[in-house]
Amino acid sequence: MPETRLNKLNAKLGFIGLGLMGSRLARRLHATGWNIRAWNRSPQPAAEVSKEGIVIASSIAELAADSDVILSSLANDAAVRSVYLDKGGVFSAAKPGTIILEMSTISPELSRRLHQEASARGVNLLDVAISGSTPAVDSGAITLLAGGDKETFEQCIPIFVSIAKQWFLIGPGSSGVQMKLVVNLLLGIDMQAIAEAVSLGEHLKVDRDVLLDVLSKTAVVAPAMAGKFRKIKEGDYSPEFPLRLMSKDMDLVMNAAKASGADLPAAAVAQSVLASNVSTNGNLDLSAITPSVISQETRAAV
């Protein structure tokens, strides 16, 4: 193993963003022996992780100045822009040579800006997008999609080992985020297809439990979606991946498609369905589109 790889014994990690994903990542890093401190905009999530021994920094700047590696998992472009680029943000305090692993799903444009700012300040930044929902984080089974410098990527493998089952360097800066949009395009369309398949089965009077059990075991269903059938069957839409974030990601997908000239008609339909559900079901799991798709089709048939 190269001597430049990060070591749990002396590397100081700072984690920003303690939402559904970030809190789990921070806990897992702490549980696997990393020296980690954290910061979160709202106090309650920070208070929860502090009960497990994770020290909470008083500010982003304090955290950044005293960290060898800064990781962040934030909700959207606005949050990432504020945390990194505002006065008192990460770039105002991070020392040259600091490594940043920015793990949020954001626009390629903002990701490129972060890489430019990091380079100008002598900071080594990777965009490290996450493929996998909360159960995968809990079990260390996520996939990491990185963009940036190969040497920095190799240095960070010990961190990746602690939180993921596999990791890929996709290409230069912002490539990880771009690959995540490709992955989430499939996720959004797959969920729309499942919702419509369940709707068709119910309209054809197939026994609902049989319908859901058999569909979940067919080869055409991606492994990542198998658990959605249990949620639909039980009517339990507690969030593993909130619908509002899936809707945000599909907006990013469609913006990227427009900028690159790609035509994505199926994704446009999924985007529309997700957007129409945000106001009522935004904090529920993305699988919560299923009952709304069924009810919409029922109303249309009347």
Q: What is the pLDDT of residues 55-67, one digit of tens each?
A: 999 999 999 999 9
- Spatial separation of the C-alpha atoms in residues 95 and 106, rounded to whole Å: 24
Q: Can you tell me the distance from the alpha carbon of 3 to that of 105, in angstroms, rounded to the nearest whole number?
A: 31
Instruction: Average the pLDDT over 14-39 and give the result.
Output: 97
User: C-alpha 124: how far from its chain's center?
Assistant: 21
Per residue in 141-180, pLDDT (tens digit) is 999 999 999 999 999 999 999 999 999 999 999 999 999 9
Per the document, the length of the chain is 302
CA quadruple 129, 248, 20, 55: dihedral, nearest 10: 70
User: Bigger pLDDT: 229 or 299?
Assistant: 229
Tell me whether the CATH fold assigned to 12-171 matches the one assigned to 180-301: no
pLDDT tens digits for 177-197?
Answer: 999 999 999 999 999 999 999
What is the residue extent of each domain of the chain?
12-171, 180-301
The CATH class that applies to domain 180-301 reads mainly alpha
Average pLDDT over residues 95-107: 98
As a whole number of angstroms, the distance between CA 139 and CA 130 comes to: 14
| pLDDT value at 300 more than 70 | no
- What would the mean pLDDT of 97-110 be, rounded to a whole number? 98
Percentages (nearest 5) of helix, strand, coil residues in the chain: 55, 15, 30
Give the model's pLDDT for residue 2. Answer: 43
Q: Residue 201 to residues 34, 122, 195, 301: CA-CA distances in angstroms?
A: 49, 57, 10, 15
pLDDT of residue 296: 63
CB atoms within 10 A of CB 140: 15
- Tokens (6 digits) for 191: 């969920």
pLDDT tens profile 202-234: 999 999 999 999 999 999 998 889 889 999 999
For the chain, the average pLDDT equals 94
Q: Give the count of beta carbons closer than 10 Å to the beta carbon of residue 73.
A: 26
Q: What pLDDT, on the 0 to 100 scale, is given for residue 299? A: 45
Lowest model confidence (mean pLDDT) among 18-22, 33-37, 79-83, 291-295: 291-295
pLDDT band at 294 (very low <50, low <70, confident <90, very high): confident
pLDDT in tens, 235-282: 999 999 999 999 999 999 999 999 999 999 999 999 999 999 999 999
Give the Cα separation of 253 and 270 in Å (integer).
11
**Is 2.60.120.1090 the CATH classification of the domain at 12-171?**
no
Q: How many angstroms separate the CA atoms of 103 and 53, rounded?
A: 23
Q: What's the pTM?
A: 0.92
3-state secondary structure of 169: strand
Residue 126's pLDDT band (cuts 50, 70, 90): very high
Place of tokens 């006065």: 87
d(CA 149, CA 125): 8
